[in-house]
Amino acid sequence: MRLNELGSIIVIIVVAAAAYFLHESPPPPQPKTTVILVPDAGGKVGAVSVKSAQGETLIDSAYASATTIGANAPVVGSSSAAQVAQTFGSTIKALPLKPVSYTLYFLEGRDEYTPESRQTIETILLELAKRPAANIAVIGHTDRVGALEYNDRLSLQRTERVRADFVQRGVAERAISVAGRGEREPLIATADEVSEPRNRRVEINIR
C-alpha cells in the first residue's frame, strides 16, 4: 500500500468518526426563559429584575421583555398585547379573580346595619356567587364609646351578625372566618368616648 493511500484512508476514518460523534451527541438544549411585563388591571406597570449567570437587567415598561438562553446575559426586547394573548392566553385565563374588600357600617351600639350597608350585602352576595371556593374574612370594629371590653364584645357581635346573614343566604359556614378588634383599630382616630359612625364597621375581605 502506498503511503498517500494510507493517508487518505486515515482522513476518511477521522472524518467519519467525527461525523458519527457529532451526530450522536448534539449540544445539550439550552433552557430559554422569556419574561414579559404587562400593565395590571388598573393600567399600572411595575418592574421585573432578570438575572442569569452572565448578566442582570431590569425591565420596567409596558410589554418590555427579557430573554435569557442558558447562562447568557438577558437580552431586552419588546412584545405586544397580541403576542402575549397568543402565548399566555390560557395561562392568563387561569389567574384567580383579584381579592376584594367591602366595609359594612352599623348603628351606634348595635349589631344592626345602616340602610346603605344593607344594600352592600346584596353586592357582596353577587360577588361571592362568581367565586368558587371563596374565603371570607370578617373583621369587626367599633367606635370608642363604651369600655374596651364592651367594644370587644360588640365588634364580635357585629361579625357574628354578618356570618349568620351570609350563612342564611347560602354561603358555606366553613368559608367564613371572623375576628373582633373592638375599638383597637379605628379607621378615624378619635378621643375616647367619641361617637364616630365610620369606625362602627365590619371589614370583609374576599379571596
Binding site for another protein (CB under 8 A): 29-41, 44-53, 58, 60, 68, 70-71, 74, 84, 87-88, 90-99, 131-133, 135, 207
Q: Which is closer to another protein, CB of 37 or CB of 128?
A: 37
Report the nearest approach of another protein to the CB of residue 5 (Å): 46
Between 38 and 178, CB nearer to another protein: 38
Is there a contact between 107 and 195 (Cβ–Cβ < 8 Å)? no
180 three-state secondary structure: strand
**108 vs 185, beta carbon nearer another protein:** 185
- Nearer to another protein by Cβ, of 4 and 90: the residue is 90
Taking the complex as a whole, how short is the minimal distance between the CB of residue 72 and another protein, in angstroms? 9
Rounded to the nearest whole angstrom, what is the least distance from the CB of residue 60 to another protein in the complex?
Answer: 8
Closest to another protein by CB, 124 or 134: 134
CB of residue 185 to another protein, shortest distance in Å: 12
**Least distance from another protein to the Cβ atom of residue 139, Å:** 11
Q: Which residues contact 124 (CB under 8 A, 6 or more apart)?
A: 102, 204, 206
Rounded Cα gap, residues 41 and 60, in angstroms: 16
CA quadruple 47, 50, 51, 56: dihedral positive or negative?
A: negative
Contact 85, 78 (CB under 8 A): no
- What does the alpha-carbon distance between residue 163 and residue 182 come to, in Å, rounded to a whole number? 17
Q: How many CB atoms lie within 10 A of CB 34?
A: 15
